[in-house]
Amino acid sequence: MSFVFDLCAGLKPGAHRFLAVALSTLLATSAYAQQRPLLTEDPRIIPTGSVFTEAGIAYLNRARFPVSGIGGNQFSLFVNGFHVGVGPRAEFQMGGVLHNFLQVRENGAGRRNDWGDFWVSTKLNLLRESGALPFISFRPTVVLPNTNNDKGLGTDGTHFFGAILAGKTVGKAFLFGNIGLGILDDAVRAAAQQDVLTYGIAAILPVTSRLSLAGEWNGRENPQDNPTAGGEDRGEVRLGAQIRAGGVRWDVGATAGLTRLDHRAGVVFGMTKEFQLWK
């Protein structure tokens, strides 16, 4: 990871009650949108008027890019997200990666860097958890191309994803999963597309009021026997933790790829901060 280092070389009377109310409000609203460090989308909607901002970094060992054929160790800077609770059943989302850096080790040498893709999404709640009924939401997402074909660090295509999200509280844990359809621009053939099945299953277990453990299995499957480059099966598992401290939810996780085209192993680290704009 040497290339990373080269790039980065007392309360007044009455305040106790106010602090207690503020902390209880923070902990109550933080029960929603427990996202980072997971990829599988939480079906719950953040409170109306809330804004959740996410930022993080990621390091993937032996990442591979089948369209360009190169591979190496990848460092992603400012993996960000922006979520707004626009109503009791709707949430607007956008995010992406500010910049990717790759130390090329397969089919080439040296270093490459490029902007990452960005995405825009809306999460709509269809059913709230009640008794035996789970949370159910629908989430359409559009991924906007921001990478350069010449850099080889992406497919430079516009992709659409639509997924059904479901989740249920089981004891202290919250179990949730996603299943949906992805329509990917074919990176090799003009005026063609790749249709894939997307999936994810995850769990978050609060250990204390400040610490939660998280894990998931997330990926996609292409029904074609020989899909073109960029449309292949992909998958990974993640294990991590969320830590609440200083008014921020910190997260850290370890990830491992499951297919021959996925990274071998990696680490992610980030933070989530909540603001209340209106009620």
**Residue boundaries of the structural domains of the chain:** 2-276
Give the pLDDT band (50/70/90) at residue 6: very low
Q: Which helix (H) or strand (E) holds 3?
A: helix 2-8
10 Å CB burial of residue 254 (0-12, 13-18, 19+) is middle
pLDDT tens-digit readout, 81-117: 999 999 999 999 999 999 999 999 888 778 999 999 9
Q: Read off the pLDDT of residues 229-250 as tens digits, 9 standing for 90 and up.
A: 999 999 999 999 999 999 999 9
- Collapsed DSSP state (helix, strand, coil) of residue 21: helix
Four-way CATH pick for 2-276: 2.40.230.20, 3.30.43.10, 3.40.640.10, 2.60.370.10 = 2.40.230.20
Largest CA distance in the chain: 70
Closest CA to 107 of 75, 74, 71: 71
Rounded CA separation 21/16 (Å): 9
Tens digit of each residue's pLDDT (9 = 90 or more) over 188-198:
888 899 999 99
| pLDDT in the model for residue 190 | 85
Which pLDDT does position 11 carry in this prediction?
Answer: 42
